[in-house]
Structure 1
Amino acid sequence: MALIQTSLIWVAYAVAVAILLVIASVFVFVYQTPRDRAASVTIVSIITTSALLATVLLLPVDVALVSSTSLSSLGRKKDWAHPDRVDSIVYTLKIVYYTLYSLDAVLCLLVVPFTYFFYEEYDEDATEQGEQTIGQRLLGAFKYTIAFILFVVIIFLVGFFVPFAKQAKHDNRLDLDYFKHLLKENHGERALSFALGLLMLVGTLIYALYTGAGLALLPVALIKSAPSISAPSLAENTASQLESNRERQRQLEGRNEGSENGLDSRDRRELEQLLREERTLIRRERLAAESRGEDRHFIVKAWIKVEAVFRPLKLLGGLLLLVLALVVFVSMLITGIDKAKNSICKAHCGYILGNVNIFQPLNWVFVKSAKVFPIDYVLFLLLVLFFFAASVVGITTIGIRFLWISLFKIRKGHTSPQALMLMTVLLTLIVLALNYSIAMFVAPQYATFGPQTFCDRDPKHPGEQPDCSKHHSAIKPCSELSDNRAAKDVCTPSVASTFINRVTINFPFFGVILFWAQFAFLGIYLIVFLATLFRTPHLDQEQIDRDLEEEEEEGLLASTGRRFQATWQDVTGRGKNYGTTETNGEHS
């Protein structure tokens, strides 16, 4: 029975990885430019994106496996879960974790930079003339990658020889078996912990900026995907405005016919403005025609109709994601306050929380759902994809920047291979930071012990073992502070939480920055959310000129009734002219 349960858990993980591979492939093909694709860039991007998502999705497998050794309803271990069997499960999980973390580090620090430089070395003219070979490109890429190799070696050497946090080691507040277990003086684990902590630290700074902004922008992007005016109405209004515009131009030109000096300065300025407006209206007219599927194949027209029918679902989905984002914000804020107030050793151990003291909604949902696998796994998968999508939205909105200088723009179907590689690196670092954020802030109790409980002895009669099948009040949830014999025999922490806590307790500097960076994440989310909520966005005119995409947008607090009306008009193909106002040749 135990073997079947363990196998089913791993099968669920394999299915999730297969789904992630498809998602990563779609993601890469949607964003890269079709005119400038490179097989090496595409393959590396897909593999890297899949590997980093597979790493974070190992957490619910970890929780399910360690929780499967105990009977939560009775607060004791299962009959088959003897210490050797539990150690075997933990050891297998460690191997998988170390493999995935090492793969992420190698991909992020070696493979992706090498692929980037290999693509940069390509010279089409030299290749066609036979002056450049694959070997020369490999040599040139390796030359530039040496710096990254040296950086990786330095990281591991520093981690191998850096002294342990002696203050934490001699802190009496950490005189518990759980914390002593984290302070192992193993040089190999220390080097890997230091390397992971450094990458996680860099990733958290990126995560706070991009994911914090994206978490606020993603629901709004879905809500605004339903236009405030339908394609037929847009076409009718545009045609009316274009006709009025051209009529006004004819009036100005006719007024000055025969004049030797031509148009006066006032009329010239007005005519220039009308010409600019005419170009914009022509682009809008073409966009409306494309939106209606004119001069396209029947299948394309049918697909446009189907999109219009399901457009309200995107609006409802955006509203649901908005609620989810607010729940995530509240949950992380509660955990942060709890850690800041009730951490047993504060900054000395990276604000490790002994046990959850304040009710936290997301943590409660995951702990309850973990009792019936794979409900928690499905919820966790959706949560990870939500954070991943928010990160992508944040990167596409802000772009890849160095300080205030914009290096690359990330857009669907217009992302260059170089930008795609840099975006992959950013997402890798963000997902490493996401490991800490989800495990330590979003669902700390779930990520550490899951639904595990133990049968606590009566402190007045420590020698007596209560019958937890009759006295359910004696059943207590496992926590880091559970240090009596009953808890030691039953509670098995997850490998992921142990590894992350080992980083923060052995290198408190990492722990302090990782902790306070979560508040920066929440602050950025709140600022962007409030700005998006109350500010009607304005489209960048240059972006409109580049993409030929112009849409009437409204603020988040605007009425959604017209959006449903626009959807119905797109389905039926009949529009309503909202009218135009003409004042001195200017149209609104």
Structure 2
Amino acid sequence: MALIQMAFTWVAYAVAVALVALIAAIFTYTYQTPRDRSALVSTVAIFTLTCLLATVLLLPVDIALVSSTTSSKLGAKKDWATPRTVDNILLTLKIVYYTLYSLDAVLCLLVVPFTYFLYEEYDDVDAEEGRQTFRQRFFGALKYTMIFVALVIILFIIGFFVPVARDRKEAHLDLDYFKRLLAENHGERALTFALGLLVSLGTLLYVLYTASGLALLPISFIKSAPSISAPQLSESTATALAQNRERQRQLEARNIGREGRLPAKDQRELEALVREERTLVRRLRLAAEAQGEGKSFIVRAWTKFCAVFRPIKLLGGILLLIFSVIIWVSMLITGIDKAKNSICKQHCGYILGSINVFQPLNWIFVQASKVFPVDYVLMALLVLFFFSSSVVGIASVGIRFLWVRLFEIRKGHTSPQALLVATVMLTLIMLAINYSITMIVAPQYAIYGAQTFCGNPPHHPDDQPDCSNHPELVKPCSELSSDYGSKNVCTPSVASTFLNRVTFNFPFFGALAFWAQFAFLAIFLIVFSTALFRTPKVNISQLDADAEADEEEGLLASTGRRFGATWQDIRGKAKKPSAGAAGRGIRGEDLHEDDD
């Protein structure tokens, strides 16, 4: 029975990894510009995003395997859960965790930078119209990547020799849980230091981007742009194009036989009409593509399917908004609880012995963990929500150095370099999200799940506990548990042990990650309040600085944001607009104005 349960847990994890790989592929191909699409860049981005999502999704597997060794009703280990079996489970989880964390670090610090420089070398050769072999480009990229190799080596050397915190007056080292957090050897200390540094870097990005995205994502579903159906756009654009060409014909006919150039006024009007005609032609083509003309039956069916279910977007936005508020409230409750009731404060990274205030999200996960895979599904949705929020935050804020925008992340307009930089940022952000979920969002669930132990009788504390006849003695496991039963029953998750070892041995990392959560809450509240009471402006004339063709392409691509779900999208027909309405809809100034 135990082998079947463990096998089912790992199968569920494999299915989840396959799904996140699909999501990573969709994200990569949705955001990367088709014109500069690179197979190498796409592969590296998809593989890196899959690895980092797999790292976070390993948490519920960790909790399920550890919790399966105990009986929550009796507060005792199951018969098959011998110390050797439990050690083997923990060893397997540690191997998987070390593999994923090491892979994330190698991808983030070596593979992605190398791919970035390799693509840059390719671009430089094209720009100079030179000829350079792949070997030359390879070694050119490797030369720049060596800087990152040197940084990684220095990082591990510092972690190898840096001493752990000495001030442990309030660290409660007499408790078994804290004894296990001590880094015993230099190799483990180096890995702990490296993980703490990466989590700290990711926390800075997490505070800025994820907090903004968590507030903007639900509101973007609710406050969408006014809807214009593709058939209606096609009809109005065709009418406007006919009027445009008719006006050009009138100007040319009026000046037939005139010697020299047209009058200045007519010449300016004709030039404006020609520019407008090019935009209208592309706008007409965009509407045709949106209706699936010339495409397969599957594409046309998907277009109509999206139109039918478009009204659900509003309901989904409301549900996501409620979910965001619950996450914010839960994080605030845990943060205040840790700041006030942590047993050792900054000396151990604000480890909380037990939750003292009802925390809704933690309670939901603890109850769901009793029936696997309910908690796994909820955790997967939570991770994907944080991931999507991070993407929305990066797309909204942009990749910046201080106030200078370096790259833009837009659907269908993201350069390969920007995609790789965003991938590194998402890798660091997901490490910070891993800390936040484990330590702030659902701390009790992330450490012990639904594990319980049989506490000592209050009047005879030295007696061996027996909860078969005394269910009132069953207590939830916590870091402060020092009873006889807890020592033999409670097994903390491997993920929480990793993160608590970081904050316990290097309290600076713990204090930074903890207090950053309040900055996260503050930024969320500011962005949420601003976006809720002020409709964000969508600049439909976002232009590419490369060429005039890209400028027009950017203008037309933004028009697609105005597509809505109307009955015409389903029927494929639209009411014929009046000439006046069509004329008002295609004035030159309207083509470049911001749309609320």
Normalising by the residue count of structure 1, what TM-score does the alignment of the two structures yield?
A: 0.87
> Which residue number corresponds to residue 327 of structure 2?
328
> Which residue number corresponds to residue 45 of structure 1?
45
Distance 1:541 1:39 in 2: 30
1:106-117 matches, within 5 Å, as 106-117=106-117
Q: Return the offset for 1:487.
A: 1.0
Q: Return the offset for 1:425.
A: 0.6
> Which residue number corresponds to residue 6 of structure 1?
6
> Which residue number corresponds to residue 312 of structure 2?
313
SS of residue matched to 2:413: coil
Distance 2:434 2:243 in 1: 58
Q: 1:312·1:567 contact (CA, 8 Å) conserved in 2?
A: no
Amino acid at match of 1:98: Y
Per-residue CA shift, 1:339-364, capped at 9, x if unaligned? Answer: 11111111121111111111111111
> Which residue number corresponds to residue 373 of structure 1?
372
> Which residue number corresponds to residue 58 of structure 1?
58
Amino acid at match of 1:514: A
Distance 1:468 1:172 in 2: 31
Per-residue CA shift, 1:380-439, capped at 9, x if unaligned? Answer: 111111111111111122221111111111222222221121111111101111110110
Per-residue CA shift, 1:306-354, capped at 9, x if unaligned? Answer: 2211212333222222221111111111111111111111112111111
Q: Return the offset for 1:546.
A: 4.0
Q: CA RMSD in A?
A: 3.6
> Which residue number corresponds to residue 73 of structure 2?
73
Q: 1:537·1:553 contact (CA, 8 Å) conserved in 2?
A: no
Amino acid at match of 2:528: F
Distance 2:390 2:224 in 1: 18
Amino acid at match of 2:88: S
Distance 1:101 1:88 in 2: 20
My pick for the range that moved more, 20-29 or 145-154, is: 20-29
> Is 1:415 paired with 2:414?
yes
Per-residue CA shift, 1:232-268, capped at 9, x if unaligned? Answer: 4455666788899999999999999x9x99789xx99
> Which residue number corresponds to residue 461 of structure 2?
462
Distance 1:129 1:394 in 2: 37
Identity level (%):
65
Per the alignment, do residues 346 and 245 of structure 1 end up closer, same or farther by CA in structure 2, a change over 3 Å counting? farther
Amino acid at match of 1:206: L
Per the alignment, do residues 277 and 337 of structure 1 end up closer, same or farther by CA in structure 2, a change over 3 Å counting? farther
Q: Return the offset for 1:84.
A: 2.1
Per-residue CA shift, 1:205-244, capped at 9, x if unaligned? Answer: 1111111111122223333557434334455666788899
My pick for the range that moved more, 438-447 or 215-224, is: 215-224
Q: 1:229·1:552 contact (CA, 8 Å) conserved in 2?
A: no
Amino acid at match of 2:454: C
> Which residue number corresponds to residue 36 of structure 1?
36
Distance 1:434 1:296 in 2: 40
> Is 1:346 paired with 2:350?
no
1:131-530 matches, within 5 Å, as 131-168=131-168, 170-171=169-170, 173-224=172-223, 227-234=226-233, 287-293=286-292, 300-465=299-464, 467-530=466-529
Per the alignment, do residues 407 and 126 of structure 1 end up closer, same or farther by CA in structure 2, a change over 3 Å counting? closer
Per the alignment, do residues 245 and 471 of structure 1 end up closer, same or farther by CA in structure 2, a change over 3 Å counting? farther
Q: 1:225·1:314 contact (CA, 8 Å) conserved in 2?
A: no
Distance 2:574 2:131 in 1: 60
Per the alignment, do residues 349 and 382 of structure 1 end up closer, same or farther by CA in structure 2, a change over 3 Å counting? same
Distance 2:82 2:262 in 1: 100
Q: 1:227·1:552 contact (CA, 8 Å) conserved in 2?
A: no
Q: Which runs of 5+ in 1 are unaligned?
A: 555-561
Distance 2:521 2:153 in 1: 34
SS of residue matched to 1:318: helix
Amino acid at match of 1:97: Y
Distance 1:294 1:9 in 2: 45
Amino acid at match of 1:30: T
Distance 2:293 2:48 in 1: 40
Distance 1:541 1:268 in 2: 28
Distance 1:525 1:34 in 2: 33
In the comparison of the two structures, how many residue pairs are matched? 574
Q: 1:538·1:553 contact (CA, 8 Å) conserved in 2?
A: no
Q: 2:223·2:535 contact (CA, 8 Å) conserved in 1?
A: no
SS of residue matched to 1:109: helix
Per the alignment, do residues 587 and 395 of structure 1 end up closer, same or farther by CA in structure 2, a change over 3 Å counting? closer
Q: Which runs of 5+ in 2 are unaligned?
A: 544-551, 591-596
My pick for the range that moved more, 358-367 or 171-180, is: 171-180
SS of residue matched to 2:180: helix
Distance 1:534 1:253 in 2: 50
Distance 2:573 2:509 in 1: 60
> Which residue number corresponds to residue 26 of structure 2?
26
SS of residue matched to 2:96: helix
Distance 1:524 1:388 in 2: 17
Q: 2:455·2:484 contact (CA, 8 Å) conserved in 1?
A: no
Amino acid at match of 1:43: T
Per the alignment, do residues 444 and 469 of structure 1 end up closer, same or farther by CA in structure 2, a change over 3 Å counting? same
SS of residue matched to 2:406: strand
Distance 1:409 1:224 in 2: 22
Normalising by the residue count of structure 2, what TM-score does the alignment of the two structures yield?
A: 0.86
Distance 1:373 1:468 in 2: 24
Per-residue CA shift, 1:173-217, capped at 9, x if unaligned? Answer: 443221122123321111100000000000011111111111122
Distance 2:149 2:385 in 1: 33
Amino acid at match of 2:16: A
Distance 1:213 1:491 in 2: 38
Q: 2:171·2:348 contact (CA, 8 Å) conserved in 1?
A: no
Q: 1:69·1:77 contact (CA, 8 Å) conserved in 2?
A: yes
Q: 1:224·1:553 contact (CA, 8 Å) conserved in 2?
A: no
Amino acid at match of 2:381: L
SS of residue matched to 2:538: coil
Amino acid at match of 1:390: S
Amino acid at match of 2:90: V
Q: 2:464·2:484 contact (CA, 8 Å) conserved in 1?
A: no
Q: 2:32·2:412 contact (CA, 8 Å) conserved in 1?
A: yes
SS of residue matched to 2:541: helix
Q: 1:226·1:311 contact (CA, 8 Å) conserved in 2?
A: no
Distance 1:297 1:4 in 2: 44
Amino acid at match of 2:188: E
Q: Return the offset for 1:276.
A: 8.5
Per the alignment, do residues 268 and 523 of structure 1 end up closer, same or farther by CA in structure 2, a change over 3 Å counting? farther
Per the alignment, do residues 567 and 141 of structure 1 end up closer, same or farther by CA in structure 2, a change over 3 Å counting? same
Amino acid at match of 1:477: P
Distance 2:195 2:399 in 1: 23
Amino acid at match of 2:568: Q
Amino acid at match of 1:230: S
